[in-house]
Amino acid sequence: MSAWNPALISINPASVWAPEMAALTIKQSKNPLFVMGSLLNNIPEEIAEKSLEIAKKRNITVVATGGSSLTLSKLNFKARVIGVVELINNLKNPEWKGFEGKGNYDLVCFIGVPYYIGSQGLSTLKNFAPHIKTLTLCRFMHPNADMSYPNMSYEEWLDWLTKLIDNLE
């Protein structure tokens, strides 16, 4: 599996994770974080709904970046709001206390961050934050993540998000 944009490559590309594996990874995490990016404002709301369902099932802290808080607010969800670059900068620091003051996170899931800036943020974490694992639940494969969904059609993506929710039980 290759990156969505062929220009973006990685020496050690992400492992492609099926929904079952993604669910297991989330369940095994002791302190996960879920980053929901600005594309949630531009794509069908059902993606934001699925994403929130995932977060709620495992009580994962949700961070809204780039203005996705507009969509999440409409869904009556109050997320932490921060710039994605600022967040990555904080995550890079192993001593960061996190939003709850419990310390840095061990797993960061991403959805809805525009591909090119998302890829750069993942590159920072891959190269300078060995204490963090990253999992992307986006429609397109992210080689800079540790674990990633593959490139998919919209319908497949929706299906994989649903399967992930089912496997979080």
Partner 1 sequence: MVVYKGDDMVQSQKVEDNMVSIKGFNMDFEEIDSYLDQKVNNHVQDKKISLNYSLIREYDFKLLSYFKPFYAPLCDMCCLCTYGKCDLSGNKKGACGINLEKQQSRMVLMASTIGASTHSAHARHLVDSLLEKDPELELKYDNTIEVLTPIITTLTGITPKNAMDLDRIMACVEKELTNLMASAHTGQEGNYLEFESKALHAGMIDTLSLEVAELAQINQYDLNKGEADVSMIEIGMGVADRDKPVILCIGHNIAPSSEIIDYAEEMDIIDDLEICGLCCSALEMGRKSAKSKIIGPISRQLMFIKSGIPDLVVLDEQCIRADIFELCDENNIPIITTSDKCSLGLPDKTKENHYKIVNEILDGKIPGALIRDSEKVGKTAVALATKIKEKNFLQSPLKTLSQDELAINNAANECNSCRACDTSCLEVKENISSKSFISNAENDMLPYIEICSLCGKCNRSCSTMLPIKEAFEEAKEGDISLMSSFYGKCVGCGKCIEACEKDIPLIDIIRMASQGKIDSEKFNMRTGRGPIQDVEIRRVGAPIVFGDIPGVIALAGCSNYANGEIEVHKIAEEFLKRGYIVLAAGCAAMDISLQKDEEGKTLYEKYSGNFDRGGLVNLGPCVANAHAIGSAIKIANIFAKVPLENNFTEIADYILNRIGVCVIAWGAMSQKAFAIATGANRWGIPAVLGPHASKYKRLYLGNDQELRKIKDKRNGTEVLCEPAPLHLAYSAESLNESMVMAAKLCIRPNDTPRGRMIKLNNYVDIYKKFYGCLPQDIHHYVRNEKEIPYQEKEEIMGILSENNWEPRESPQEPSIL
Minimum Å gap between C-beta 12 and partner 1 is 6
Which lies closer to partner 1 via its Cβ, residue 29 or residue 65?
65
Q: What is the DSSP string of 39-95?
A: GGGTS-HHHHHHHHHHHHHHT-EEEE-TTTHHHHHHTT---EE--HHHHHHHHH-TT
DSSP H or E segment with residue 33:
strand 32-36
In total, the chain counts a number of residues equal to 169
For the bound state, the minimum distance from the C-beta of residue 167 to partner 1, rounded and expressed in Å, comes to 28
Q: What's the min distance (Å) between Cβ of 43 and partner 1? A: 11
- Which residues ranging from 47 to 66 are in contact with partner 1 (CB under 8 A)? 64-66
78 binds partner 1 (CB under 8 A): yes
Which residue type does 152 have? M
Give the range of 24-32, 48-56, 86-94, 157-165 binding partner 1 by CB under 8 A. Answer: 86-94
What is the distance between the terminal CA atoms of the chain, rounded to a whole angstrom?
29
Rounded Cα distance between 38 and 138, Å, is: 12
Chain residues binding partner 1 by CB under 8 A are 4-7, 9-12, 37-38, 41, 64-67, 69-70, 73-74, 78, 80-81, 83-86, 88-90, 92, 113-117, 120-121, 123-124, 126-128, 130, 151
